[in-house]
């Protein structure tokens, strides 16, 4: 399928209910033997991605960068870092993805750049140059300390002193990631130009990193403290309500500018990452109506462990915010512990089955289709500054970023056996390699393919409405959601208990007006036992009932 065919597709809302496959370029496939994944490597493996029955890929950053934060510190927004390839390699990747019917979403890190970016290099020269106000600069307090109490995500103050300007600059993350000043109109326009550059190259949308971090309070007001019981020990910013450094009202107006640009490219889409203190209301506000983001995600499910009550609570809070919002749910990504570890390795298929039952779009992280658990690394193997700074209490994000395993060779087929991958391959991953699972029709890989095909073929599951079943109406540890579209209804059940006690469920007691039902054939899930008008579900099993 060509780009023009994709953009002429009458269903410009393809993203609604779509499944997006996230690729972390450094760790997907190394085509040139340097131990680091690259764009040609991704292109060579796109057939595997297409075989999963997903709709799109999301590429984490591949732009020019000193890699202090592995691409989330961009030094040139409109070029490819040489370690990943060239712009021609990117064009070839997009062309091949479109041939396979895959749309391409790329990361955009707008809130901050690298301190090596030409914009910042000019800005820090003095207080009068043309880009002097492109970043957030502030004078010290009279005693020389930072302008306020804002904290950085990686620890310490969110301010670093620059001797040349005799001012502090703001960085919500590493000191080498200075925050851009979105109050400056030229900054806003520069980023719209950046987005247009990639749209013209054929991308189908953007994932916006920390999309609620663009604007700051001009008065630099101190953030209030967070109650101690709500502090997350692995996140220094959680000691404060991030009331003034992020989520300013001007953000919404800029999202509308972005949406207007994407509307010029039919079929393109946006997904925003929402971080901060109260994420679900922000997600609702940022995806409200037809003039802001198409969809967004929070860390509420990314931090889940598969507890039925916890899961219901997240979804209930989300539904209370109204139907005029579209979430993009995920259980794993490049920033959190892999879902096969957080939910339990024996429950990897169950986790994805539950994910596929939810209203919204889905994101599948590379290796999740294989059931890869979180890798264990020694301190000397760490690359992530977050883990290095906070070790051993916080191990960082390297455990979910180790190379993809394509075969059972020493480096998992990610790079040549004689080479050294940028992060070591966990030996526990090798028996889960693609080649091993391809040969087994009952493997997780093949069941995930069937599961995503089943969901993709169902308009009820892709785009239908959702009604949650409260825990008080269900046996302990059972999660249930009713999906419906007109007179079509599917009741999705999952026993999330970790014990041995089965649960007896009477669908008539949960949903009114049922004449009957039949159980859809869920991959890897036996048809539940029936006794009259009730069914029995054992722990670790799920059932989807098509109601009549």
Q: Per residue in 432-444, pLDDT tens?
A: 999 999 999 999 9
Q: Could you tell me the residue range of the domain that residue 342 belongs to?
A: 3-111+185-217+244-454
Contacts of 409 (CB under 8 A, 6+ apart): 417
Domain count, the chain: 2
Cα 45 to Cα 55: distance, rounded to the nearest angstrom: 15
Asked whether the predicted pLDDT for residue 415 surpasses 90, the reply is yes
- Over residues 444-459, the pLDDT tens digits come to 999 999 999 999 999 9
Whether pTM exceeds 0.85: yes
- Residue-wise burial string across 73-89, b where 16 or more C-beta atoms lie within 10 A, e elsewhere: bbbbbeebbebbbeeeb
Same domain? For 265 and 323 the reply is yes
Q: Which of 432, 454, 476 is at the close of a domain?
A: 454
Same domain? For 323 and 412 the reply is yes
Confidence of residue 10 (pLDDT cuts 50, 70, 90): very low
Q: Which of 264, 290, 487, 512 is catalytic?
A: 264
Cα 114 to Cα 75: distance, rounded to the nearest angstrom: 5
- For residue 188, how far is the Cα from the chain centroid? 24
Q: Across residues 216-240, what is the average pLDDT?
A: 91
Q: Across residues 223-234, what is the average pLDDT?
A: 89
Q: Which of 435, 454, 473 is at the close of a domain?
A: 454
Confidence of residue 2 (pLDDT cuts 50, 70, 90): low
Confidence of residue 6 (pLDDT cuts 50, 70, 90): low
Same domain? For 201 and 276 the reply is yes
Domain assignment present for residue 140? The answer is: no
Q: Is there a catalytic annotation at residue 264?
A: yes
Domain assignment present for residue 228? The answer is: no
Domain assignment present for residue 236? The answer is: no
Same domain? For 531 and 422 the reply is no
Domain assignment present for residue 315? The answer is: yes
Write 167-171 long-range contacts (CB < 8 A, 24+): 167/127, 167/137, 167/138, 167/139, 167/140, 168/137, 168/138, 168/139, 168/140, 169/124, 169/135, 169/136, 169/137, 169/138, 170/135, 170/136, 170/137, 170/138, 170/216, 170/245, 171/112
pLDDT of residue 1: 55
Domain assignment present for residue 329? The answer is: yes
Mean pLDDT of all residues belonging to the chain: 95
Same domain? For 309 and 391 the reply is yes
CATH number for the domain harbouring residue 84: 3.20.20.80
Domain assignment present for residue 225? The answer is: no
- Over residues 475-487, the pLDDT tens digits come to 999 999 999 999 9
pLDDT of residue 12: 81
Same domain? For 494 and 396 the reply is no
pLDDT of residue 233: 72
Cα 278 to Cα 545: distance, rounded to the nearest angstrom: 34
Domain assignment present for residue 429? The answer is: yes
Strand order, beta sheet including 529-531: 503-505, 534-537, 529-531
Asked whether the predicted pLDDT for residue 11 surpasses 70, the reply is no
Same domain? For 469 and 450 the reply is no
CATH number for the domain harbouring residue 500: 2.60.40.1180
Q: How many CB atoms lie under 10 A from the CB of residue 320? A: 10
Q: Which of 454, 472, 490 is at the close of a domain?
A: 454
pLDDT of residue 4: 54
Same domain? For 406 and 442 the reply is yes
How many residues can be counted in the chain? 548
Same domain? For 493 and 450 the reply is no
Asked whether the predicted pLDDT for residue 389 surpasses 90, the reply is no
Q: Which of 209, 247, 369, 477 is catalytic?
A: 209
Domain assignment present for residue 121? The answer is: no
Q: Across residues 289-300, what is the average pLDDT?
A: 95
Contacts of 515 (CB under 8 A, 6+ apart): 548
Confidence of residue 532 (pLDDT cuts 50, 70, 90): confident
Q: Using CB atoms within 10 A of its CB, is residue 356 exposed (0-12), middle (13-18) or buried (19+)?
A: buried
Same domain? For 409 and 508 the reply is no
Q: Is there a catalytic annotation at residue 9?
A: no
Same domain? For 10 and 40 the reply is yes
Same domain? For 526 and 377 the reply is no
């Amino acid at each position: 399928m060509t780009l023009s065919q994709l953009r002429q597709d009458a269903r410009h809302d393809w993203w609604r209910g779509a499944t997006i496959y996230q690729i972390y370029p450094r760790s997907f496939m190394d085509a040139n033997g340097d131990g680091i994944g690259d764009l040609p490597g991704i292109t060579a493996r796109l057939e595997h991605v297409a075989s999963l029955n997903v709709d799109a890929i999301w590429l984490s950053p591949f732009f020019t960068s000193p890699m202090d934060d592995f691409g989330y510190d961009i030094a040139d927004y409109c070029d490819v870092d040489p370690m990943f390839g060239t712009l021609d390699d990117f064009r070839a990747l997009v062309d091949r993805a479109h041939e396979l019917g895959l749309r391409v979403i790329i990361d955009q890190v707008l809130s901050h750049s690298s301190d090596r970016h030409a914009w910042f290099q000019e800005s820090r020269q003095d207080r009068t140059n043309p880009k002097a106000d492109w970043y957030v600069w502030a004078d010290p307090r009279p005693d020389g300390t930072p302008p306020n109490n804002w904290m950085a995500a990686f620890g310490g103050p969110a301010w670093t002193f620059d001797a040349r300007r005799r001012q502090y600059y703001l960085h919500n993350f590493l000191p080498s990631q200075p925050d851009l000043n979105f109050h400056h109109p030229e900054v806003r326009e520069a980023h719209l130009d950046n987005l247009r550059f990639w749209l013209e190259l054929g991308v189908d949308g953007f994932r916006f990193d920390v999309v609620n971090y663009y604007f700051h309070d001009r008065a630099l007001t101190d953030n209030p403290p967070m109650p101690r019981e709500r502090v997350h020990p692995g996140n220094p910013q959680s000691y404060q309500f991030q009331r003034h450094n992020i989520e300013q009202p001007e953000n919404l107006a800029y999202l509308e500018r972005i949406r207007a640009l994407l509307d010029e490219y039919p079929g393109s889409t946006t997904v925003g990452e929402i971080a901060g203190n109260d994420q679900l209301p922000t997600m609702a506000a940022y995806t409200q109506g037809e003039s802001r983001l198409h969809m967004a995600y929070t860390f509420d499910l990314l931090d889940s462990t598969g507890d039925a009550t916890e899961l219901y609570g997240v979804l209930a809070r989300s539904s209370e915010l109204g139907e005029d919002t579209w979430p993009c749910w995920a259980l794993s990504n490049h920033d959190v512990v892999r879902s096969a570890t957080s939910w339990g390795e024996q429950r990897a298929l169950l986790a994805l089955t539950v994910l596929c039952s939810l209203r919204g779009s889905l994101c599948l992280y590379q290796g999740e289709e294989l059931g890869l658990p979180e890798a264990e690394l020694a301190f000397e193997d760490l690359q992530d500054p977050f883990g290095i700074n906070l070790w051993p209490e916080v191990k960082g994000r390297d455990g979910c970023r180790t190379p993809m395993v394509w075969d059972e060779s020493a480096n998992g087929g990610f790079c040549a056996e004689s080479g050294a991958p940028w992060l070591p391959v966990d030996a526990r991953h090798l028996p889960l390699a693609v080649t091993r699972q391809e040969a087994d029709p009952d493997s997780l890989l093949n069941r995930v393919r069937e599961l995503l095909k089943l969901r993709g073929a169902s308009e009820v599951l892709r785009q239908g409405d959702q009604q949650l079943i409260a825990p008080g109406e269900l046996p302990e540890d059972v999660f249930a959601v009713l999906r419906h579209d007109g007179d079509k209804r599917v009741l999705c059940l999952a026993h999330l208990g970790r014990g041995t006690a089965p649960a007896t469920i009477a669908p008539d007691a949960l949903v009114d007006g049922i004449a009957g039902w039949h159980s859809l054939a869920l991959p890897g899930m036996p048809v539940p036992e029936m006794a009259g008008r009730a069914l029995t579900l054992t722990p670790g099993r799920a059932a989807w009932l098509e109601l009549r």
